[in-house]
Amino acid sequence: MVRAQTSHPLDPLTAAEISVAVATVRAAGATPEVRDGMRFIEVDLVEPEKQVVALADAYFFPPFQPSLLPRTKGGPVIPTKLPPRKARLVVYNKKSNETSTWIVELREVHATTRGGHHRGKVISSTVVPDVQPPMDAVEYAECEAVVKDFPPFREANEGRGGIEEMDLVMVDPWCAGYHSEADAPSRRLAKPLIFCRTESDCPMENGYARPVEGIHVLVDMQNMVVLEFEDRKLVPLPPADPLRNYTSGETQGGVDRSDVKPLQIIQPEGPSFRVNGHFIEWQKWNFRIGFTPREGLVIHSVAYIDGSRGRRPVAHRLSFVEMVVPYGDPNDPHYRKNAFDAGEDGLGKNSHSLKKGCDCLGYIKYFDAHFTNFYGGVETIENCVCLHEEDHGILWKHQDWRTGLAEVRRSRTLTVSFICTVANYEYGFFWHFYQDGKIEAEVKLTGILSLGALQPGETRKYGTTIAPGLYAPVHQHFFVARMDMAVDCKPGEAFNQVVEVNVKVEKPGDNNVHNNAFYAEEKLLKSEMEAMRDCDPLSARPWIVRNTRTVNRTGHLTGYKLVPGSNCLPLAGSEAKFLRRAAFLKHNLWVTPYARDEMHPGGEFPNQNPRVGEGLATWVKQNRSLEEADIVLWYVFGVTHIPRLEDWPVMPVERIGFMLMPHGFFNCSPAVDVPPNQSDLDDKENGLPAKPIQNGLIAKL
């Protein structure tokens, strides 16, 4: 059989493919002026139809499972090659202020090191009216330079404590959002926040410790000119806080802790996972790793190998598709802080190159990520995605009190993660796979607070004073996980539904004479409008994605359960400006039938978006049936951050997330056959035998 391509249909674009896509689009420009004005925001893989993925997995790539394809009377017709890969480009024209999307077929791609030729074919190009695409790091740097060169800006800074050295000034060009018609996308706008460092010779100084407040700047990002400037309010520059920096204790006149002994994590026989390209196998799990400039890490084709039942699909695609950070201070400039960090900036494009020894520990497999830069060149973030195993404490344990005999197993997880920095905050995104069939999604928040300056003696009810003249506004962080589920469904099958479970207290009466009775009540979510749901800790509410045609040994439908972690809803009025663009924050759970073009809950272009409720809140108005469908879960989870003194100068990691748990999926726990590991043997070597029985009780040590 001819293997026409070496990249799986879901593998991220290679550097060579990105180069071909950019060159093809640039060559297709109608005039030299058009070609010269092209700026490349995103180049991403066009993910193929699920049937193409199934064909690739059946005959061309691991797991080589012909059973993935539905049977036909004459047997499947197997092509000798897969269709060509395609790239989708978002292009901003700096001269015309137009945004366009392009689809390019990557027909022939050869590595430049081999002297090969490059050829692609434009399939389509579409001008998208009335939008602004995400901002780029090149634009941020140009904006900072333009603002710092603006004479009135220099004068205003000199009036705030004599800031004359512009090298100390930091200009963070935040997107304008949409608050009124003045923010319409007919212009490409930024409203920067200003900060000032203290020392010119300290590259690790925390510049966010000294906000320059009271200055209003509006920048035309297309032409890189200052449109508006106003020194609205003279707020003194906060004094240099001696505790402002986050470097080692010695650099702050103290010492670091000396009583922490080395902790070594070693795997002398190597890891338990296997990697073939972007295909991962571990502890009966298998899946593929993808990566996009907007979402960052994507998990594809998640399945579990379940003995005689073979490969059982769980999900087609898992990712974090959007995040929103609204602030709760009504004062300028904080009221307009409502960043869409995925849609306005890109989580993937802002990701880190991870370093062994701190970001991840143990035996690690790293994956690089390739992106286009603003001018169409290719940039690579090395070690962008981390794959490693972690010890996770006890998986399960039971000791028979009559015999003193115990069985215990340690839990191990396979973790796939990446970390990104968006201005002052860091976000770590993690998918943890467990030996008992669970999948945990986790976000770790850390970094530097976005601060405001205070007048002498002033306090703010909308934040926490953390140093003289310095306060941290209250705010929230919201994340949206998109989960294209496939519980026991082959590609092309649409046999899933969603059930909500609520625990009810039985009414007093003959069935509850002791007033202790409660029970779980299930409710099928039959349509999109019915499936707009919120967390409810009072009823211990989870949601179950069930297969409508597969049963377990008790005759019940097999399923996977979404179990919420800690969560919240927006603490804002219903008419809050940011909710125009972020209507998807109004509920914790949304459910839709799969539609290929429904990927971004706030619409593809949330930057300066004037349209109300675009995206998820609009799609569900179709009220499509969910009783038996190809189900997509959209889970919105967040945290309300009321800053503490202990969050300064750097915020310790805060964790939030949720769990996907098997619910009647397996006939018995897949954790039962986990073997005892070396930790149990070490206990015996260290002289810790099972406790003897005395008079029917376990003896005390």
Q: Could you list the active site residues?
A: 341, 425
d(C-alpha 18, C-alpha 29), whole Å: 17
Show the beta-strand stretches assigned E in 179-292: 189-190, 193-196, 211-212, 215-220, 225-231, 274-276, 279-282, 285-292
What span, in angstroms and rounded, lies between the C-alpha atoms of 11 and 17?
11
Question: What is the token pair recorded at 75?
Answer: 């047997």
Residues 610 and 130 sit within 8 Å (Cβ to Cβ): yes
Q: Please name which of 43, 122, 159, 150 lies closest in space to residue 90, comparing C-alpha atoms.
A: 43
* Helix or strand run (H / E) with residue 505: strand 496-505
CA 536 to chain centre: 24
Q: Which residues pair with 226 in a beta bridge?
A: 219
Question: Where do the DSSP E strands lie in 373-462?
Answer: 378-399, 406-422, 425-434, 439-447, 452-453
Instruction: Tell me the helix, strand and coil percentages in the chain, rounded to 5.
Output: 15, 40, 45
| Cα atoms in the 13 Å half-sphere on the side-chain side of 173 | 28
Q: Verify cis geometry, omega within 30 degrees of 0, for the bond prior to 63.
A: yes
CA distance 624 to 689: 60
- DSSP code of residue 383: E
Beta-bridge mates of residue 92: 39, 99
CA distance 9 to 58: 12
Q: What is d(CA 360, CA 434) in angstroms, rounded to the nearest whole number?
A: 18
Secondary structure class of 334 (helix, strand, coil)? helix
